[in-house]
Amino acid sequence: LPPDRRVGFAIVGLGHLAVQQILPGFGSSRKAKPVALVSGRADKARVIASQYGIKPEAVYDYESFDRIAQNPDVKVVYIVLPNAMHKEFVIRAAKAGKHVLCEKPMATSSSDCREMIDACDKAGVKLMIAYRCQYEPHHRYLMDSVRKKDFGEMRLVRAVNGQDVGAIDQWRLRKALSGGGSLPDVGIYCLNAARYITGEEPVEVFAQISTPPNDPRFKEVEESVSFQLRFPSGVLAELSCSYGVHRAQTLEVHTAEAHYLMEHAFPYKGQRLQISHKIGKSDADVVPNIEQQDQFALEMDHFATCVMENRVPRTPGEEGLQDQMLVEAIYQSARTGQAVKL
């Protein structure tokens, strides 16, 4: 679309993700454009605004944010703040009459998620959670292939997502801002993937947590989580996440006649899907030719389309609420040592 017909986005919170991925992602977008910034650091925001051709008067701070209601260029507000701040700014954006795209995890409690959904409903605005992998072509290929039963019934899903969280001085390690450790931050990709691959909702979860007692980084939040989900069809998912490993990022699906292996499944790029499947009495290894695309551009274009065509996004607030309820069940299971029925 030409610039004057694109949907205008305001980016709230100019941290790593916003500056290094989302703003550059507009370059690959077809339907979205950045038109406003919201930041606590006026100097930084001014520089970034000039880089992206954003008007100086469309730069807000957290106090003046509500004035965005009077900016008709802004149709969507994209919340890229620490997790515990999502709720306040989603609700304020809705009250300003703007559609809202909110980063994952949606919030830090299921009651907050419900308040956010209600606020957007009441204001008559759309709410989408930024589950970028659900818009990524390798994930969509995998989802379609297993759901069509290209190689028989699905039995097992396995996924691991993790990284070294890094230095101690960051909001991710402060429970009041993050809501938890590796589970809501990176484990949520595995959890969400198990749900969109199966197209089902789990009926039982079991989880274990391990956190090194002497690492001062993990005084408030957990390091590693291993969790299992049982789905109504009988599919089992074995999922794990950690803040103390070197690049764990694999997604696998085992069906009656195939093994789907996606390497680099959860990073911003580099996905590779291999399918080893039965063919007669032997096996074939196939690497489908799937185009790499900017995940942030795809996700923003999806929401822009929903706004222009008045459609419900593929990953609405309810999708974030469901993951948050499962995160809470996973913590409960780890705490009690018991499986939790849902």
CA atoms of 78 and 80, how far apart (whole Å): 6
> Based on CB atoms, which residue is closest to ligand NDP, 200 or 222?
222
Helix (H, G, I), strand (E, B) or coil at 330: helix
253 binds ligand NDP (CB under 6 A): no
15 binds ligand NDP (CB under 6 A): yes
The single residue among 82, 179, 187, 320 that binds ligand NDP, judged by CB under 6 A, is 82
The single residue among 54, 80, 100, 154 that binds ligand NDP, judged by CB under 6 A, is 80
User: Alpha helix (H) ranges present in 34-136?
Assistant: 42-51, 86-95, 110-123
> Based on CB atoms, which residue is closest to ligand NDP, 151 or 296?
296
- How many residues in the chain? 342
> Based on CB atoms, which residue is closest to ligand NDP, 39 or 333?
39
> Based on CB atoms, which residue is closest to ligand NDP, 43 or 309?
43
Instruction: Give residues 112-171 in contact with ligand NDP (rule: CB under 6 A).
Output: 130, 132, 171
- Assess contact for 151 and 278: CB atoms under 8 A: yes
40 binds ligand NDP (CB under 6 A): yes
Two tokens, residue 280: 């007669």
CA atoms of 147 and 244, how far apart (whole Å): 33
Least Cα distance to 151 among 288, 270, 314 occurs for 288
Stretch that binds ligand NDP, among 8-16, 134-142, 218-226, 256-264 (CB under 6 A): 8-16
Catalytic option among 60, 78, 131, 189: 189
CA atoms of 5 and 146, how far apart (whole Å): 37
Q: In the bound complex, what is the minimum distance in angstroms from residue 252's beta carbon to ligand NDP? A: 21
Active site residue 104: yes
CA atoms of 186 and 196, how far apart (whole Å): 16
Least Cα distance to 245 among 227, 224, 268, 219 occurs for 224
Active site residue 189: yes
The single residue among 13, 202, 244, 317 that binds ligand NDP, judged by CB under 6 A, is 13
Site of tokens 């074995």: 238
41 binds ligand NDP (CB under 6 A): yes
Which stretches of the chain bind ligand NDP, using CB under 6 A?
Answer: 13-18, 39-41, 80-83, 103-104, 130, 132, 171, 185
